[in-house]
Amino acid sequence: MVIAKKPINNTSKSAISNTEKAAEAFISGAGNVPKEDSKKKKRKRPFLMRFDEEMLDRIGKAVGRSGNSWAAWIRNALNRALDEEGV
């Protein structure tokens, strides 16, 4: 019977690139997910405003046609208006 020596890991520590070291550290960090800093997070802020029924109906129709949600449609419309204003 021939007994083979256990292969030596040829990748010396110094030969491992920084990316590999980072990947190794990332993979071995499983279960330790970094928590997102809620202060840094750009959460949308609720903003209450009133609409008359007629305008709500018109928005509802446009929202239905677009396939977007109400919030997404209104945000898009406001973005377009702000872009036009150059704000």
Partner 1 sequence: MILTVGNTKGGVGKTMLAINITIARALRGSDVLLIDGDEQHTATIFTELRNSQIGSAGYTAVSLHGAAIRTQVRQLVPKYSDIVIDVGGRDTGSLRAALTVTDTLLIPVQPRTFDIWAIDQVIALIKEAREINPSLRAVAILNAADAQGSDNIDAADALEEAEGIEMLELTIGRRKAFPNAAALGKAVIEQNPKDPKAIKEFNTLMRFLYNNVTI
Q: Is 67 in the site for partner 1 (CB under 8 A)?
A: yes
Q: Is 7 in the site for partner 1 (CB under 8 A)?
A: no
Residue 35 token pair: 């928590």
Site track for partner 1 across 26-65, x = CB under 8 A: xxxxxxxxxxx----xxxx---------------------
Q: Which is nearer to partner 1, 1 or 33 (CB)?
A: 33
DSSP 23-65: HHHHHHTTT-PPPP-TTTS-PPPP------HHHHHHHHHHHHH
Q: Which residues bind partner 1 (CB under 8 A)?
A: 19, 22-24, 26-36, 41-44, 67-72
